[in-house]
Amino acid sequence: MPVADSLSDLGVRITSRGGELRVWSANATTVDLCLFDDNDATWLVKSIPMVHDTNGVWLARSRLLRAGTRYGVRVTGTTAPTNAFDPALTLIDPYARGLARTASGEWRSYVQETDSFDWADSQKPAIALDHTVIYEAHVKGLSKLNPHLPDELRGTYAGLAHESTIAYLKELGVTAIQLLPVHQFVSEQRLIKQGLTNYWGYNTLNFFTPHAAYASKSAQFGGTGAVLREFKGMVKLLHEAGLEVILDVVYNHTAEEGIGGPTTSLRGIDNASYYRQTPDGTYIDATGCGNTVNFSLPAAQRLVLDSLRYWANEVQVDGFRFDLATALGRDENAQFETGHPLLEAIISDQQLAGVKMIAEPWDVGMGGWQVGNFPDGWSEWNDGYRDRMRDFWLSDIGAARANGNAPNGIGSLARRLAGSAHVFSQERGPLASVNFITAHDGFTMADLTAYNEKHNLGNGENNRDGTDNNHSFNYGAEGPTDTPVILEARAKAIRNLLGTLLLSAGIPMLTAGDEFGRTQRGNNNAYCHDSELTWLQWEGRPLWQNELLVVSEQLLRLRRENPALRPSRYGIFGETTPSATQMDWYNKEGVVMSLTDWDSPEERTLQYLAASTPEFEAFNRILLIVHGLEDDVTVILPSHDGVAGYSLLWDSSLDELIDPIVDYLPGSPLTVAGASMQLFRAH
């Protein structure tokens, strides 16, 4: 463990002697517990001096500290460049399980009710990583336009758990819904001045409370515990449907922003300890958000561990995706450390056993890009996968049209298709890679095929925000068009991107709406838009989008049915490794790939024959053909020991399902449409 037992039981505990509050501050000189009126949270009822021990833990007890009580702390300390004490401010308890806002806009902690939620027979689905398919979604955006919901449930936790929303997710075939931040958050001061809002939620106010605005109105005004009960009810219903819940958590920075930003909690309690600073008090900002939490100290490490334990055990969530996770692994010198005590503790803590841990393995500080360098037990977002797949199907095609040659061969795609063994260690295996083509941040999948440039003027920053490195291709027109040949090429490109994502080794993450071609009209940084631009469309979709949804469902079914597509381990040459995949690679002539075939931009065709090495499922072998040039090509299907034929399961050049299945013999020729892929079952 990276922290001592002296940091146990921080926050409020109800005891036989009344309520007890424990707060950590190494640099405070006095701390007062402030209790407020039940009906007027601005009215101070009682102030109780807290006493501290030698470990920096301050304690106070009161029988007035009971379920529903509004409270806060006021902290004083010495004047120093790295301190920011202000005894006039009432601060949020970092461990508060509930938050309420006063009429004047201040925040008050409140004591959460004793947990009486009835989980009944609900259990975590405990879906194996090799069967996991992640669906990244926004609580509000997912169901805000769902016509099957009553108005009061649209865009809420209850709306997400509604039978119609769950039925959609189940029919699609995903196994886990990964929610953009649901810890209580606020909009940045800059956005408020612009009249905009932080829609995504990456600006956390407190690590233990669900964002109240995502609850139904009846829960928001339902008294102490109602919002939390609705959240737990959502988790329970999703679990009963066999769906896991993963939370996108933002521990790397807080909503207190840079110096001069709002002081609501950690800054006022112990700025010198909780935030990375130089000796003159300048913040070391490795997050781009104004501050970076200092995880070289045990108290900050313990804050994260206790938050994770709370959500994983008391709220029963199944996993976490850590925003800018490199910041969590920086040592006292702000250098990333693979064996950082917090990173190790997160995956070794017995209270977190079986919980999925996913890193966004970068931040914006020096040495911030750490893909492949997290400890065993972590999975990581694989941005190399994202960029190479976009290049192969989009920007390379655009370059070939412009210059006559694609700039890259097929080798880079193949390495990632097979599980990115060049990125992740043998011990970690392909399930260390979370594969994605898109995420909340960036173009949607449809927009990747429709825009060469970002269109972010609506964000209020003169189109300066958002990346310019999109790896996209608009196929000849920027934005919407009625030209049939362009529309057909775009639709096929989306099918290629979806097929690559869902047929690759690793854990696929699908961004909500990509399954039917959602657009954000070229905005690749829509964090400040809480509108139909970012909400999912449920009705009125054109035919091509509904056809694409059927393709997405088919691809997810094929992934489930073919274990050769989802190995758990890397194979070792000359050995039989259980739950790995035996891979054989052939060129378009059906001959084993040569170095020229791998690297040549003129030879962007491969045949990938993958056979499972059974451990828990029956033997399975597939053949995947990938062709990355726009001219049709004839391939000779490979001959291989034990293969008598190939049954075509899916063809990305077609916008409809294949029925009936067509069989082909090894050694027979097959015409493959330009820029397409085909999946066969080998038998």
User: Taking the alpha carbons of 447, 452, 456, 458 in that order, is the dihedral positive or negative?
Assistant: negative
SS3 482: coil
93 is catalytic: no
Which tokens hold the place of 12? 């409020």
DSSP sequence for 10-55: -EEEEETTEEEEEEE-SSEEEEEEEEE-SS-TTSEEEEEE-EE-TT
In the chain, the amino acid numbered 505 is A
In the chain, the amino acid numbered 418 is A
323 is catalytic: yes
Compute the distance between CA of residue 380 and CA of residue 399 in angstroms, rounded to an integer: 30
- Taking each helix axis from N to C end, the angle separating 484-503 and 543-561, rounded to the nearest 10 degrees, works out to 20
Half-sphere exposure of 380 (CA within 13 A, CB side): 28
Compute the distance between CA of residue 59 and CA of residue 461 in angstroms, rounded to an integer: 46
The angle formed by the CA atoms of residues 651, 624 and 673, to the nearest 5 degrees, is: 40
Which among 323, 344, 396, 603 is annotated as catalytic?
A: 323
Which among 344, 360, 396, 597 is annotated as catalytic?
A: 360
Compute the distance between CA of residue 212 and CA of residue 185 in angstroms, rounded to an integer: 9
In the chain, the amino acid numbered 405 is N
Compute the distance between CA of residue 675 and CA of residue 625 in angstroms, rounded to an integer: 11
Provide the CA 152 distance to its chain's centre, in angstroms: 27
In the chain, the amino acid numbered 311 is W
SS3 325: helix
Compute the distance between CA of residue 325 and CA of residue 336 in angstroms, rounded to an integer: 10
The angle formed by the CA atoms of residues 549, 554 and 555, to the nearest 5 degrees, is: 100
Compute the distance between CA of residue 410 and CA of residue 416 in angstroms, rounded to an integer: 10
Residue 423 near residue 365 (C-beta atoms within 8 A): no
DSSP sequence for 264-314: -SHHHHHHHHHB-B-TTS-B--SSSSS--B-TTSHHHHHHHHHHHHIIIII
In the chain, the amino acid numbered 37 is D
Residue 552 near residue 544 (C-beta atoms within 8 A): no
Q: Taking the CA atoms of the chain, what radius of gyration do you get in angstroms?
A: 27
Q: Which residues are catalytic?
A: 323, 360
